[in-house]
Chains A and B, each alone.
Chain A
Amino acid sequence: MIDYHFDWSVITRNWDKLTDALLLGLLLAVISLAIGCIIGLLSAYARLSTKKWLSLPAWAYVEFIRCTPLLLLIFFLYFGLPEFNITFLNKFESFVLSLSLYAGAYMSEVFRSGLSSIPKQYVEAAKAIGLRPWQRQVYVVLPVMFRITLPAVSNNLISLFKDTSLAAAIAVPELTFVARQINANTFRVMEVWLTASALYLATAYIIALLLRQVERRYASIR
């Protein structure tokens, strides 16, 4: 740091670019979480099924994703799918697909443990008033499960948001990509990366705070 003089004008000049990039990352994370939740819910039910042809593929999917690096998945879908003549995905869609598949496996684990931790008495009470099987899931099991798993879902959203930084590797102009660009053009290393870190940190913190509020609202389960 001997000869380093801070010059924050590089940040103020590029502020709009940086915040746009941040929002793009946030958007990608939210979309991927939404799709990931659907994949996760379906595969969690599949894993808990007594039918082997349902539970086995779901297990394989979760284990496969858990052991595969996200960056590899991103590259594979972005560069590999066109080899199968699947060319209609642009880099944004391709990245969302990767992150959704990745999130799906993690959500699957969260939902599976949530579903199996629901006391069976609730299901019996639902049976006793005559609710049909799918009604028991929709009106009793799922609402309780979502409340139980909310903290884990929040953590996953924050992780996914951080993982959007990997989109930089396929030139999606999110925060890390833009920061690296500014870094390369100006060599203001400290300013750029301190700002990027602070923006990520602040956003993660705000997400955590917001979700804490949601959790408090639904704290009817003790």
Chain B
Amino acid sequence: MDSLMAPGTFLFEAWQARASLASGLGVTLLSSAFSIVIATVCGIAMGVALSYGWWWLRLLSRLYVDLMRGIPVLVLILFTYYGLALFGVNVAAFWAGVIALGAFATAHVAENFRGAVESVPAGQMEAAKAIGLTFGKRLRYVILPQAFRRMLPPWVNTGLEVVKGTTLLSIIGVVELLLSAQQQMARNYMIVEFYLLATVLYLIVNFTLAQLGALLERKTSYLRY
């Protein structure tokens, strides 16, 4: 045991680095959470616009979605990071990254929302109209509960993409998990070991997220077609 934990061994170095890595992991989780929340709220709003909006609203949101799907996330992040500074908005790199990731994921959530809503048979909307529900109530009580289950798997996938996407924040200097692991390597030269350690941590986070999605899917399995 002593020899395993002796200075210069991997376990020793990993133990030394625990605080830095934990803080990196925290930044990863926090930026993911912020981006996912932004994307979910804005994405559903945009999804409604995409499915039910006036023609100009549909056009604008469609334009936004296609724009976001054609530009690499890294370019969005760099653009936001350098661009916001021009406006005199002095945001930290962290928030520039969160905004860019959130904007990217918003497009995905919106598109998934549209797909899920369209998969609900048209007769459902008509039946809801026929009993006199207002638009908001038709959505809230009839369409969304049915579309929800279909939205879940792609929503979890978007979540996974966001978590993986937070590694790109390292390029604008945010010390999230990847950069924090690299900083350790610069100190102890244990390149393979620390990359593997970071990989394992990402696997744990993403696997948990995927399992959570599967659990939610089971919980809503009363909705079947």
Interface 1/0 per residue, A160-171 and B, CB below 8 Å: 001111101100
- From known contacts A200-B72, A201-B70, infer whether A72 and B178 are also in contact, taking CB-CB under 8 Å: yes
- Measured as residues with beta carbon below 8 angstroms from the partner, the interface class of chain B is 35 or more
Central interface residue in B72, B85, B168, B196, by most chain A CB within 10 Å: B72
Q: Name which of B7-15, B48-56, B76-84, B215-223 contacts chain A.
A: B76-84
CB A108 to nearest CB in B, in angstroms, measures 16
Contact of B83 among A72, A168, A189 (CB under 8 A): A189
Q: Report whether B74 and A176 are in contact in the complex, using a CB–CB cutoff of 8 Å.
A: yes
Q: Report whether A71 and B83 are in contact in the complex, using a CB–CB cutoff of 8 Å.
A: no
Which residues does chain B contribute within 8 Å of A163, judged by CB atoms?
Answer: 72
Docked Cα-Cα span, A189 to B86, in Å, equals: 8
> What is the interface size of chain A, counting residues whose CB is below 8 A from a CB of the partner?
38
Does A197 lie at the interface of the complex (its beta carbon under 8 Å from any beta carbon of B)?
yes
Q: Report whether A193 and B198 are in contact in the complex, using a CB–CB cutoff of 8 Å.
A: no
Docked Cα-Cα span, A190 to B85, in Å, equals: 11
CB nearest neighbor in B for A200: B71
Does B124 lie at the interface of the complex (its beta carbon under 8 Å from any beta carbon of A)?
no
Does A133 lie at the interface of the complex (its beta carbon under 8 Å from any beta carbon of B)?
no
Which residues does chain A contribute within 8 Å of B67, judged by CB atoms?
Answer: 201
Which residues does chain A contribute within 8 Å of B82, judged by CB atoms?
Answer: 183, 189, 193
Q: Report whether A71 and B198 are in contact in the complex, using a CB–CB cutoff of 8 Å.
A: no
Docked Cα-Cα span, A176 to B74, in Å, equals: 8
CB B108 to nearest CB in A, in angstroms, measures 12
Docked Cα-Cα span, A84 to B196, in Å, equals: 14
CB B134 to nearest CB in A, in angstroms, measures 37
Q: Name which of B33-41, B142-150, B202-210 contacts chain A.
A: B202-210
CB A22 to nearest CB in B, in angstroms, measures 12
Does B183 lie at the interface of the complex (its beta carbon under 8 Å from any beta carbon of A)?
no
CB B88 to nearest CB in A, in angstroms, measures 7
Among A134-180, those with CB < 8 Å from B are 158, 162-166, 168-169, 176, 179-180
Could you list which residues of chain B lie within 8 angstroms of chain A, going by C-beta atoms? 67, 69-75, 78-79, 82-83, 85-88, 160, 163-168, 170-171, 178, 182, 185, 191-192, 195-196, 198-199, 202-203, 206-207, 210
The 24 sampled A-B contact pairs (Cβ below 8 Å) are: A1-B86, A64-B203, A67-B206, A67-B207, A67-B210, A68-B164, A69-B164, A70-B164, A71-B164, A71-B168, A72-B167, A75-B178, A79-B191, A158-B69, A158-B70, A165-B72, A165-B74, A168-B74, A176-B75, A179-B78, A189-B85, A193-B75, A201-B67, A205-B70
4 closest A-B pairs by beta carbon, nearest first, are A67-B206, A165-B72, A69-B164, A201-B70
